[in-house]
Chain A
Amino acid sequence: MTTATTPTPVRLPAGRRSWRGRSGNAAGAGQGQASPLAKGVVVFIAILWIVPVIGVLITSLRPKDDANRDGWWNVFHEPHLTFQNYSDAISKAHLGQAFVNSFAIALPATFIPILIAAFAAYAFAFMRFPGRDALFILIVSMLVVPNYVAFVPLLQLYGHFHMVGKFPSVWLAHIGFGMSLAIYILRNYMSTLPIEVLESAKIDGATHFQTFWRLIVPMSVPALAAFAIFQFIWVWNDLLTALVFIGPGDSQPLTVAVSQLIGQQQQGWQLVTAGGFFSMIVPIIVFLSLQRFFVRGLTAGSVKG
């Protein structure tokens, strides 16, 4: 889930009926008039999608012996539940520390690129300067470059500066990797803002710096929020960058910690599932509470290399 072809900004038409629904034709399959078959298929797929997660959730709440003896569906006739696995995962498997580390990695790696990208997007949208179009084309072409290119050279560079294993190594990497998409989304959004507002600010004697902070940033909140959520979840879920630049140890984020836990299967299913579910909680909460922005972020631009 990391990406933007020239993300055809798909606009979500608020309140518009579906193509089926608008006509109420002979086929009669308008909104709310699904045939039993269609309904059945959707319900079936939804169940198929959610059952694996429920299985993990239930197993993570079963006592160790139950969880490793038989499948989670047996919980209905041996209903013993416990939070012991979570406290074991958090303290014994060090997931508590990893949880804090994940925030320490994801928050700066979300907000710093937004700040940098917003300034650049402002310049690309509202200022005229030689080389502007060429530079922007460069940024568009960088959208699809895979971050693999960075690992070998940057490991060497970080080695010189003793940065391997420290938070700034991943912050800076995520700033670099997320930058082109951030500029792309924000610039496209800003160029839809009414230019008259800017011109009147200029006449009133506002500098670019003032216009940026007092006008453009507040007006761009939807795009800023969309990208922020997108980038936060992307960094939170990232395994490869963290594995390469930080690796297992005191500074490891949740993804690295849980992947270690999966590797040591003898710890038992109760711990693996607790760790797995624990790592999903934050993205799920972010998604469910900020769904609107999240979907907008996806539709506004979804191809990142």
Chain B
Amino acid sequence: MIKIINAVLTVLAGLAGALIVYWVLNKISELLPSKWEERAKPYFFIFPAIAAISLYLIYPAIQTLEYSFANADSTAWVGFRNYRELLTSSDFHSTLFNTLLWIIIVPAATIAFGLIIAVLADRLRPQGEKAAKTIIFLPVTISAVGAGTVWRFIYAANPPGEPQVGLQNEIVTKLGHDPVNWLQLSGGRVNSFLLMVILLWAQVGFAMVLLSAAIKGVPGEILEAARIDGANERQIFFRVVIPQIRPTIITVFVTVTITVMKLFDTVYVMTDGNFNTNVVGNQFFNELFTNYNNGHAATIVVLLLLAIIPIMVFQVRQFRAEEVTR
């Protein structure tokens, strides 16, 4: 009970603190001569936001770049040693390869499934559509840890001859085969693919909602015109609807790609990167908390940032283009 009261009090204190900051900032700006007040006020309004972003993203990014050229406890410069060590290590190659597999497969598969479900659910009666979409969207709200409990249970394996607890092995044994220890099945990266299934399960609902909204937003006149020109349903879908919803497809693609690039929790709760399922996010975590190597951890982040820069440039361009039409 005391804990709960404590929590409530800290919550209130946090909020009150934030409000007081603005009140004080506003008062300060009102003390200025009115000409200066008008000039200064915008900066007072944005100051806390810019400060938060500077402290939590910009300053750390620069600092991380610096640490990537320093040793494990950030006490001496080592030049490019961290980069050399990581990029020549065969373990890290395997980690990079796994991450690449995720990047190639998951965003594309998410969009494909999302599109199929969006199109099919669209044809159901409204109640049916809503029910199906609610169910498929539900995993989006579940944490990776929650999803981990769900899927560990699906993939669970008991020794042959015993009753199976995991659904997948129940099916396998009912079909007359021996149970398989799915998460340790690293040959052909099968276990990595099984982990991808989890993320798909968790992300397809997100893709479905956005794509479905976009499909419903395609103007009727365009479709009508295509029909009058004699296009069949398949042509309309691939040649009219898909190009029309392209911006949304790109949004979903970028979103899922970034999610996958910084994937951590799904792998952490399922295998912790063992059995050759490691990805970059987990390697970062292990360098930081298992190997206590700030240099390697920072280097991994820098590599990740380099990979994300093209996406960032693309974002800014998109934004500029949209602002022009606004």
Give the chain A neighbours of B46 by CB distance below 8 A. 119-120, 123-124, 135
Q: Are A175's CB and B123's CB within 8 A? A: no
**In the complex with contacts A52-B150, A127-B41, A117-B255 CB distance below 8 A:** no
Residue in B58, B148, B215 whose beta carbon sits within 8 Å of that of A276 in the complex: B148
Give the chain B neighbours of A284 by CB distance below 8 A. 138, 141-142
Q: Per-residue CB proximity of B8-36 to A under 8 Å, as 1/0? A: 00110011001100100010001000000
Residue in B11, B120, B301 whose beta carbon sits within 8 Å of that of A41 in the complex: B120
Q: Is the interface of A mostly helix, strand, loop or mixed?
A: helix
**In the complex with contacts A16-B216, A262-B145, A262-B149, A49-B135 CB distance below 8 A:** yes
Q: Are B227's CB and A269's CB within 8 A? A: no
Q: Does B251 contact A (CB under 8 A)?
A: yes
Q: Looking at chain A, what size class is its interface with the partner chain?
A: 35 or more
Which one of A10, A156, A233 has the greatest number of beta carbons of chain B within 10 Å?
A10
Q: Are A175's CB and B56's CB within 8 A? A: yes
Q: A19-B122, A19-B216, A175-B52 are in contact. List 17 more A-B contacts (CB 8 A).
A: A1-B140, A18-B216, A23-B220, A23-B227, A25-B227, A29-B123, A39-B124, A43-B132, A137-B316, A146-B304, A147-B56, A152-B64, A173-B56, A176-B57, A237-B146, A280-B143, A302-B210
**In the complex with contacts A2-B259, A302-B255, A262-B56 CB distance below 8 A:** no
A-B contact pairs, 18 of them (CB 8 A): A11-B213, A13-B217, A21-B122, A31-B126, A42-B121, A50-B138, A68-B165, A115-B15, A145-B61, A146-B301, A149-B57, A179-B53, A240-B265, A243-B285, A259-B145, A276-B150, A287-B138, A295-B213
Q: Does A69 contact B (CB under 8 A)?
A: yes
Residue in B57, B144, B152, B318 whose beta carbon sits within 8 Å of that of A5 in the complex: B318
Q: Are B248's CB and A8's CB within 8 A? A: yes
Q: Are A279's CB and B216's CB within 8 A? A: no
Give the chain A neighbours of B236 by CB distance below 8 A. 19
Q: Are B146's CB and A258's CB within 8 A? A: yes
Q: How many Cβ-Cβ contacts under 8 Å join chain A to chain B?
A: 417
Within 8 A of B (CB), among A248-287: 254-255, 258-259, 262, 269, 272-273, 275-277, 279-280, 283-284, 286-287
Which one of B19, B46, B59 has the greatest number of beta carbons of chain A within 10 Å?
B46
Residue in B19, B141, B149, B258 whose beta carbon sits within 8 Å of that of A56 in the complex: B149
Give the chain A neighbours of B93 by CB distance below 8 A. none
Residues of B within 8 A of A (CB): 3-4, 6-7, 10-11, 14-15, 18-19, 22, 26, 30, 39, 41-43, 45-46, 48-50, 52-53, 55-61, 63-64, 67, 74, 116-117, 120-126, 128-129, 131-132, 134-146, 148-154, 156, 163-167, 170, 201-203, 205-206, 209-210, 213-218, 220, 223-224, 227, 232-233, 236, 241, 247-248, 250-252, 254-256, 258-259, 261-262, 264-265, 268-269, 281, 284-285, 288-289, 294, 297-298, 300-301, 304-305, 308, 311-312, 314-316, 318-320, 322, 326
- Report, nearest first, the 7 A-B pairs whose CB atoms are least far apart: A176-B56, A276-B149, A237-B143, A104-B7, A120-B49, A153-B63, A70-B163
Q: Are A167's CB and B10's CB within 8 A? A: yes
